[in-house]
Amino acid sequence: MAQDGAPSAVLDEFHASLLAVMKEGPALGHAGRARRLQPEVARAFHLPVMIQVATGTFWRQANPAQQDALVAAFTRYSTATYAKNFKKYAGERFETVAERAGPQNTTLLDTRIVKSDGSAVEITYVMKKGSDAWKVVDVIVDKGISELALRRSEFSRQLKDAGIDSLVATLNRKADELAAEGP
């Protein structure tokens, strides 16, 4: 299983799962895609670490119940986002381009999604070895800004103005909205 292997094996499994869900996407609908992707997202991504980084000092101020609620809401939102963005198959394929050492004991995996017309979207996954497996801790699309930096910026104002419970509610609402947008 990929959890014992190289970082690229974790992503190969995740990408294979994404493709399988995309191929059945219209028949599954959003709820079916989310149900199938949730364990795959949780296996490939270190969502607790990602939400800790994205919420910064607010994470440390939260009580354990709030932290659990935040991880659950972030997991729901992340899964709903993948279910929305990967809803049908049109000949796409995933390619791993390079694996290189990153900062702070991370490994960077440069990948791309190649569309049927040959155009590609570049994705760099920042991966860190945890106690039991390699997991994604950040995503950088088209050599742009990190997903965590975007989330931290997005969450910052709400956390300052309304706190953790408000962010939990917002993430759950956004997951519901993504699901309601249709198949």
> Please, what are the domains in the chain?
2-180 (3.10.450.710)
| pLDDT attached to residue 3 | 43
H-type alpha helices, 62-142: 64-85
| pLDDT attached to residue 123 | 96
H-type alpha helices, the chain: 7-44, 47-55, 57-61, 64-85, 147-162, 164-180
R_g (Cα) of the chain, nearest Å: 16
Token match 């014992």: residue? 4
Asked if 72 contacts 2 with a C-beta cutoff of 8 angstroms, the reply is no
Asked if 41 contacts 79 with a C-beta cutoff of 8 angstroms, the reply is yes
Token match 């599954």: residue? 28
| pLDDT attached to residue 1 | 43
Phi, psi of 92 (to 5 degrees): -70, 155
| pLDDT attached to residue 31 | 94
Asked if 122 contacts 142 with a C-beta cutoff of 8 angstroms, the reply is yes
CA distance linking residue 51 with residue 72, whole number of Å? 10
pTM summary value: 0.92
Nearest CA-CA partner of 151 in 53, 45, 37: 53
pLDDT of the chain, 183 residues: tens digit per residue: 444 578 999 999 999 999 999 999 999 999 999 999 999 999 999 999 999 999 999 999 999 999 999 999 999 999 999 999 999 999 999 999 999 999 999 999 999 999 999 999 999 999 999 888 999 999 999 888 899 999 999 999 999 999 999 999 999 999 999 999 876
